A and B are shown apart, each in its own frame.
Chain A
Amino acid sequence: MVNAHGSVIDTVAIENVCIDYDVGPAKREKLRAVEDVSISIRRGEKLVILGPSGCGKSTLLMALGGFLPISSGTIKVNGTPVSRPSMERIMVFQDFYQLLPWLSVLDNVKWGIRKRWPKMKKEEVTRIALKQVELVGISRQAHQYPNTLSGGQKQRCAIARSFAATPEILLMDEPFGALDAINRERMQQELNNIWSEQDQPTTIAFVTHDVNEAVLLGHRVMVMSSGPGRIRAVVDNPHVGKPSDGPEAVNLAAHLRDLLKEEIR
């Protein structure tokens, strides 16, 4: 599962990637955050990267986004090495302030579409934006400014904007991490719905430390261990999208929890 042989259905190929941070007073020391990670992400799958805090999972995602340089190894998207941020790899952050506060919900989504396709006709931009806004369930808030939205609504808008740009892969960095428990569970369910309502299945890499979230969302779950971040296991999840209190889901969650616990010990 871990190795990738450049199979046609792979969108992302991560091979032997190490990432170091420069630390210390003069930034001379190196701190290894991610060590020797190799995984391929298949087209149209949701891959959850699961790990404890500080295990380097967000670092890996940022590198995949092109926001951080890697120290060794390669990250390729459709065969092209990642060197800088691109609209083919759109990030959704945990931060509620990822929306442009001076644009309404609809205009935020339109903004993303216009950046992606500068020559697209106005009517088409509006049509796509409205569709995505409706899909994430904030049609009623379409003309409100972000400061009047709840945390969950803000994340919905950010998700709508990212899906609207139809990137090669969507990179989600704990987008529901700052939501309350009830909202979080609802958003997890709805992300599955939004994903399946797209014309083309969107490839998603989703970072979380929440085992239940991983079981609900991930076609595959990549468990990371910390200090430095390595791949502990990659687990197939045939029960993706099933209620988290079903027997199979409970078993898988227990298995994942064991994998995480072993690490902490």
Chain B
Amino acid sequence: MNPSTATVPPSMSLQHAPSLFERFRKLIVVCAIFLVWELIVRLGNVNPLLFPAFSDVVGNLMRGLGVGGQPELWGYIWETLSVILQSFALSVMLAILLTSLALASTLAKDFLSVITGMFQPLPSIALLPMAILWFGFSRESLVFVVVMSMVWPIASSLTVGFATVSPTLVRLGRNYELGHIGTLVQIMLPAALPMMIAGLRVGWGFGWRTVVAAELVFGATGSTGGIGWYINNSRLFMNVADGFAGILLVIIIGLIMESIFLFIQKKTTHRWGTEAS
């Protein structure tokens, strides 16, 4: 809640709404990168088995998505997305539960702070061998490592979010006789939303990296694999352009998610002027 920006309508904020020109400029840069890629591969006589041309990659990607080919990629996309969405939901619930308990007792607070400090620096993919030991080559193993990568950044930003809720709002909640749950749901969570969204973004980023990495190592769970598995499989069969298409897909989905978070921010905290600056 920055008082100096309190009266500035969101549309006038310079930081978050790039002008048309700025967007255009970025597009030019992206096009330039793809053009240089294409030219180097085509003119430099690069072995397409090592580094395929951009046009081949896009062609394979489109075919994989069903434009002039078998729409096989959608299955892999869904497989990966379903794992990460399930883990995301679990992580959010777990993070809210842990941080709410930390609000209620100092012991729980210390516990959360220690365990967050321990697990946050650990790349959770390092837990995959143990997860395989515990859960076997199953979906549970994947969900376990992805949750372990997501829950800590979400919990730690939610802790900060709760700690910075205005005491006046907490008093307001007490004045209107809200109980513990009521205060949490009606005051604390919405007031902590700016930090929460930041945490969800970071958490999602960690989880996305982890799920793709885990699939690379892991292969298919059951009958179907995810995008990571698809990338690794393409290398096995020397369908390098397919592998590149998979990588491009990972990037594109990451960008789409990022813009979904931005959209949510625009509809909530930007509008309320509670953006964490």
A residues lining the B interface (CB < 8 Å): 65, 67, 84-87, 89-91, 93, 95, 97-98, 100-102, 112, 115-116, 145-148, 150
Contacts and interface: CB of A to CB of B under 8 A. Distances in A.
Interface stretch (B129-137, B255-263, B266-274): B266-274
B176 interface: yes
Interface of B: 1, 6-7, 9, 166, 168-169, 171-172, 174-178, 187, 190-191, 193, 268, 271-274
Contact of A97 (B169, B176, B193, B268): B169
A85 B174 contact: yes
Contact of A102 (B171, B175, B178, B272): B272
Contact of B176 (A93, A112, A150): A112
Contacts of B193: 102
Nearest to A62: B171
Contacts of A91: 171, 175
Contacts of B168: 93, 95, 97-98
A147 B272 contact: yes
Contacts of A101: 1, 191, 272-274
B222 to A, nearest CB: 43
Nearest to B3: A96
B264 to A, nearest CB: 13
Which of B166, B171, B175, B268 has the most A CB atoms < 10 Å from its CB? B175
B1 A97 contact: yes
A95 B168 CA distance: 7
A93 B171 contact: yes
Contact of B172 (A84, A89, A98): A98
Given A65-B175, A98-B168, A102-B193, 10 more contacts: A84-B174, A87-B175, A95-B168, A101-B191, A102-B274, A145-B271, A145-B273, A147-B6, A147-B272, A148-B7
Nearest to B168: A95
| Residue of A85, A145, A147 with most chain B CB atoms under a 10 A cut-off | A147
B151 to A, nearest CB: 25
Nearest to B176: A115
Nearest to B6: A147
A145 B8 CA distance: 12
B272 A145 contact: yes
A80 to B, nearest CB: 15
A172 to B, nearest CB: 13
A116 B178 CA distance: 11
Given A97-B166, A102-B193, A148-B9, A87 B268 contact: no
B272 A85 contact: no
A94 to B, nearest CB: 9
Contacts of A65: 175
A147 B177 contact: no
B177 A95 contact: no
Contacts of A84: 174
